[in-house]
Amino acid sequence: MAVGIFDSGLGGLTVLDAVAGQLPEVPFVYFGDNKHAPYGVRDADDVYALTTAAVERLWDEGCDLVILACNTASAAALRRMQESWLPPDKRVLGVFVPLIEALTERTWGDNSPPREVDVNHVALFATPATVASRAFQRELAFRAIGVDVEAQACGGVVDAIEDGDMILAEALVRSHVDALKRKMPIPEAAILGCTHYPLMEAIFEDALGPGVKVYSQAGLVAESLADYLTRHPNMAGAGTVSRFLTTGDPAWVSTRATQFLRREIRFDAA
């Protein structure tokens, strides 16, 4: 029973760490498309083609269930995949819905009509492609009314994190938060809409200031996946071995991943 986790680069490792802690008995196969990262500056058709190819590779590893631990892929490709491409015996899940359910205080599967919620002013920090897709606003509109979302495209942050330049990443985060606050001076909540951003969560919190609740995805996705597998045990695939795969240079990616998670990670060529 293996579950696939896909990201364009290393950001999905934050999700992997959380779900592996929540489900230690489940083997996970991680696929990083480092050769083509970052996805956040690509158009929707390009993201769709790259994402479907990666998911098919994870199916080859015995993963009938794949988590798109990439907000850009979830925003630009997931709905199209589910509507016209996905075979009936496979599942691909994104990372937006658990976050929105937490924000709107809904339980999984609550499909009741949209209603008013306690939070009315929300800041969304994400890649340019995720912001352009408006996928977060679309999913939120299914569940809540009266919520003003101000989105900030955080160009350069993913590249800086992938390159290990955390000084530049911090400077960029603070610059993007300043830009957001010029448009929405007093957000009540902030969404970190990229799986790289949990590494900068403390910087976001400091730049946003007290009183702003920051929602990060890794733990919420882990809880949602555990619940999903309890309800759908048949979706645990045939794979039995945990692996790390990359389209990039395995040695370079392994070094970066080890620094990323602060434990030794070894990637193989995909």
Establish whether 70 is a catalytic residue.
Answer: yes
pLDDT tens-digit readout, 27-72: 999 999 999 988 988 999 999 999 999 999 999 999 999 999 998 9
Residue 237 above 70 pLDDT? Answer: no
Q: 112 falls in which pLDDT band (50, 70, 90)?
A: confident
Same fold? 3-95+218-269, 97-215: yes
Q: How far is CA 221 from the centre of its chain?
A: 9
Mean pLDDT of 247-259: 95
pLDDT tens-digit readout, 166-209: 999 999 999 999 999 999 999 999 999 998 899 899 999 999 99
Mean pLDDT of 156-163: 90
Domain 97-215 sits in CATH at 3.40.50.1860
Contacts of residue 38, Cβ cutoff 8 Å, sequence gap at least 6: 8, 9, 72, 127, 158, 159, 162
Q: Which of 15, 66, 67, 70 is catalytic?
A: 70
The pair of three-digit structure tokens given for residue 185, joined into one six-digit string: 């001076």
Q: Which of 194, 212, 236, 253 is catalytic?
A: 194
User: In a 3-state reduction of DSSP, which class is residue 268?
Assistant: strand
- Residue 93: name the closest of 217, 201, 214, 225 by CA: 225
Domain 3-95+218-269 sits in CATH at 3.40.50.1860
Q: How far is CA 59 from the centre of its chain?
A: 20
pLDDT of residue 1: 66
- Residue 4: name the closest of 79, 82, 56 by CA: 56
Domain map of the chain by residue range? 3-95+218-269, 97-215
